[in-house]
Amino acid sequence: DVAAAREHADKALDVGARAAPGSGSTLEALIARGRLARLEGDGDLAEEYFDQAVTITDELGFVDLNVTRALQGLAWASRRRQDAAEAERHLRRAVSLFDTQRGKVGRSDEERSLFLSSFHGVYRDLIDLLVEQGRMAEAFDVLEASRARTLLSMVAARDLTFDLDVPPELGRERRSVDAEYERARQRLAPLPEGAVETRAAQEKLAGLRERQHHIPDRIRRGSRRLAELREPQPLDAAGVAAHLDP
């Protein structure tokens, strides 16, 4: 029932606007409202909701995998306007976000697999867009990257096996920074926009995110075997052709 779903999403948005405008529930309600508007054929309204969802996370400086859905919605809206370049920009950002966050969700293989499977459409959309423009080699690169990232998720799900290759101090630092980032993100969500404490929390979150980005590089430098397992480098079309029998 689309009408009931719309009413539910609108109530969630109203509560979120008054209590926690930057919360994950508000983000999910905006995305849900955008999807409903799309179903009802109101593309302009759908784009407005998707844009609000992305703007919230950009302004507050936190990362949420659900933003991938909003970016995918913005890409749909761009293609609707025949703006392929903007659609590609949104989809590549969505793919990048998905790739960096996919190893941090779910506690079991089954839970992780079920959750992440709902996001794979972003790869499909990007491949479709590239094929539509005749950019077959680039589409193949995206397909191979998605397969490589699936392998990466399988490896990440078994941290205990490969943590033996991680220098102990870096392993502890990685887990500590990830936990601190999550705590900081949760503290930021209910803070009012524009307040001094909100800006301070945003700066702290940005600093932690920067540390998260640098730790894998340090681990890769310290363990080549682990780097190859955690960051598989997919072959491009030319690379695959070179490995085939003549």
pLDDT at 28: 82
pLDDT of residue 6: 76
Count Cβ atoms within 10 A of the Cβ of residue 242 and give its class: 0-12 exposed, 13-18 middle, 19 or more buried.
exposed
Quote the CA–CA distance of 194 and 40 in Å, as a whole number.
35
| Predicted model pTM | 0.63
For residue 213, the model assigns a pLDDT of 76
Residue 160: predicted pLDDT: 42
CA dihedral of 91, 93, 175, 119, whole degrees rounded to 10? -10
What is the per-residue pLDDT for 161? 45
Per-residue pLDDT of the chain (246 residues; tens, 9 = 90+): 667 777 777 776 666 555 555 556 778 888 888 988 998 889 999 999 999 989 888 877 766 778 889 999 999 999 999 999 999 999 999 988 887 776 565 545 555 555 566 667 888 999 999 999 999 988 888 888 777 666 555 555 555 445 556 777 888 888 898 888 878 877 776 777 667 887 788 788 888 888 887 877 777 676 666 555 555 555 566 665 665 655
Q: Quote the CA–CA distance of 221 and 55 in Å, as a whole number.
A: 35
Per-residue tokens: 220:
């890769």
Distance CA 84, CA 151 (A): 30
Dist CA 195 CA 242 (whole Å): 57
